[in-house]
Structure 1
Amino acid sequence: MGTPSLVWFRDDLRLADNPALRAAIERGEPVIGVYILDEESAGVRPLGGAARWWLHHSLAELRDRFIDRGSVLVLRRGAAGRVIRDLCDETGAGAVFWNRRYGGPEREIDADLKSALRDAGVEVASFAANVLFEPWTVTTGAGSHYSVYTPFWKACQEQPAPRKPLPEPRTIPGRAQPPASDELDDWGLLPTRPDWAGGLRERWEPGEQAARRRLRDFLDEDLGSYDAARDEPAAGATSLLSPRLRWGELSPHTVWHDTLEHAGTGRHAASAHGFLSEVGWREFAWHTLYHFPQLAEKNLRAEYDAFPWPSPERADLDAWQQGRTGFRMVDAGMRELWSSGYMHNRVRMITASFLIKNLLIDWRRGEEWFWDTLVDADAASNPFNWQWVAGSGADAAPFFRVFNPELQADKFDKTGRYVREWAPEYADDTDGEPAEPMVDLKQTRRRALDAFDVVKRSR
Structure 2
Amino acid sequence: MKNDKKPKVAIFWHRRDLRLADNAGLYHALNSGLPVLPLFIFDRNILDKLTNRHDQRITFIYDQLIDLKKTLQQKGSDLLVRYGTPDAVWLQILEEYDVRAVYTNRDYERYAIERDDQIAAIMSQSSIPFYTFKDHVIFEKREILSGQGTPYTVFTPYSNAWRARCTDFYLKSYPSEERLDRLCKASDLPFPTLAQMDFTHTNSAFPQKKVSPDLMASYEEQRNYPALQGTSQIGIHLRFGTISIRSLARKAKETSFTYLNELIWRDFYQQILANFPHVGEGKAFRSAYDLIGWRNNEEEFQLWCEGRTGYPLVDAGMHELNTTGYMHNRVRMVTASFLVKHLLIDWRWGEAYFAEKLLDYDFAANNGGWQWAAGSGTDAAPYFRIFNPAAQAQKFDAKGEYIKKWVPELNSLSYPSPIVDHKFARERCLKTYKEALNR
TM-score higher than 0.5: yes
Match of 1:20 in 2: 25
Aligned partners of 1:90 and 1:179 also within 8 Å = no
The 5 Å alignment of 1:272-283 reads: 272-283=256-267
Partners of 1:92 and 1:178 lie apart in 2 by: 19
Q: Report deviation, 1:174.
A: 3.1
Partners of 2:399 and 2:81 lie apart in 1 by: 48
SS in 2 for 1:282: helix
Partners of 1:361 and 1:373 lie apart in 2 by: 18
For 2:134, give the aligned amino acid. Answer: A
Listed one character per residue, the Cα deviations across residues 80-104 of structure 1 (whole Å, up to 9, x for unaligned) are 2342243133111111100111123
Aligned counterpart in structure 2 of residue 124 of structure 1, from 123, 130, 136: 130
Match of 1:189 in 2: 199
Aligned counterpart in structure 1 of residue 294 of structure 2, from 309, 321, 341: 309
Aligned counterpart in structure 2 of residue 253 of structure 1, from 218, 243, 246: 246
Q: Report deviation, 1:137.
A: 1.3
Q: Report deviation, 1:167.
A: 3.8
Listed one character per residue, the Cα deviations across residues 387-415 of structure 1 (whole Å, up to 9, x for unaligned) are 11001111111111111000000000011
Cα distance change on mapping 1:47 and 1:4 into 2, 3 Å: farther
Partners of 2:240 and 2:277 lie apart in 1 by: 20
Q: Report deviation, 1:177.
A: 6.6
Match of 1:159 in 2: 165
Q: TM-score, with normalisation over the residues of structure 2? A: 0.90
Q: Once structures 1 and 2 are overlaid, which stretch shifts more, 296-305 or 168-177?
A: 168-177
Match of 1:269 in 2: none
Partners of 1:291 and 1:260 lie apart in 2 by: 26
Partners of 1:45 and 1:146 lie apart in 2 by: 33
Match of 1:268 in 2: none
Cα distance change on mapping 1:85 and 1:30 into 2, 3 Å: same
For these two proteins, the number of residue pairs brought into alignment is 426
* 1:4 pairs with 2:20: no
Partners of 1:64 and 1:177 lie apart in 2 by: 11
Aligned partners of 1:3 and 1:93 also within 8 Å = yes
Partners of 1:54 and 1:291 lie apart in 2 by: 31
Cα distance change on mapping 1:63 and 1:186 into 2, 3 Å: farther
Partners of 2:57 and 2:25 lie apart in 1 by: 24
Partners of 1:309 and 1:222 lie apart in 2 by: 40
Partners of 1:241 and 1:442 lie apart in 2 by: 37
SS in 1 for 2:345: coil
* 1:234 pairs with 2:227: yes
For 1:236, give the aligned amino acid. Answer: Q
Partners of 2:433 and 2:376 lie apart in 1 by: 11
Match of 1:338 in 2: 322
Aligned counterpart in structure 1 of residue 177 of structure 2, from 169, 172, 183: 169
Structure 1: 5+ residue stretches without partners: 192-196, 264-271
Structure 2: 5+ residue stretches without partners: 1-5
Q: Report deviation, 1:416.
A: 1.0
Match of 1:37 in 2: 42
Partners of 2:332 and 2:307 lie apart in 1 by: 13
SS in 1 for 2:218: helix
Percent same amino acid at aligned positions? Answer: 34
Aligned partners of 2:284 and 2:290 also within 8 Å = yes
Listed one character per residue, the Cα deviations across residues 228-266 of structure 1 (whole Å, up to 9, x for unaligned) are 1110011111111111101111121110113334x3xxx
Q: Report deviation, 1:179.
A: 5.9
Partners of 2:50 and 2:147 lie apart in 1 by: 37
SS in 1 for 2:233: coil
Aligned partners of 1:4 and 1:93 also within 8 Å = yes
SS in 2 for 1:40: helix
Match of 2:377 in 1: 393
Aligned partners of 1:51 and 1:377 also within 8 Å = no
The 5 Å alignment of 1:84-95 reads: 84-95=90-101
SS in 1 for 2:64: helix
Cα distance change on mapping 1:260 and 1:419 into 2, 3 Å: same
Aligned partners of 1:99 and 1:127 also within 8 Å = yes
For 2:37, give the aligned amino acid. Answer: I
Cα distance change on mapping 1:28 and 1:117 into 2, 3 Å: same
Aligned counterpart in structure 2 of residue 424 of structure 1, from 378, 383, 408: 408
Partners of 1:437 and 1:398 lie apart in 2 by: 25
Aligned partners of 2:77 and 2:186 also within 8 Å = no
Match of 1:325 in 2: 309
Q: Report deviation, 1:2.
A: 6.0
Partners of 1:177 and 1:391 lie apart in 2 by: 53
Partners of 1:45 and 1:62 lie apart in 2 by: 26
Match of 2:3 in 1: none
Match of 1:194 in 2: none
Partners of 1:180 and 1:451 lie apart in 2 by: 57
Cα distance change on mapping 1:107 and 1:29 into 2, 3 Å: same
For 1:402, give the aligned amino acid. Answer: I
Partners of 1:38 and 1:315 lie apart in 2 by: 34
Partners of 2:13 and 2:68 lie apart in 1 by: 13
Match of 1:446 in 2: 427
Q: TM-score, with normalisation over the residues of structure 1? A: 0.87
Q: Report deviation, 1:17.
A: 1.0
Q: Report deviation, 1:160.
A: 4.7
Q: CA RMSD in A?
A: 2.3
For 1:137, give the aligned amino acid. Answer: E
* 1:75 pairs with 2:81: yes
Aligned partners of 1:39 and 1:46 also within 8 Å = no
Match of 1:140 in 2: 146
Partners of 2:420 and 2:290 lie apart in 1 by: 25
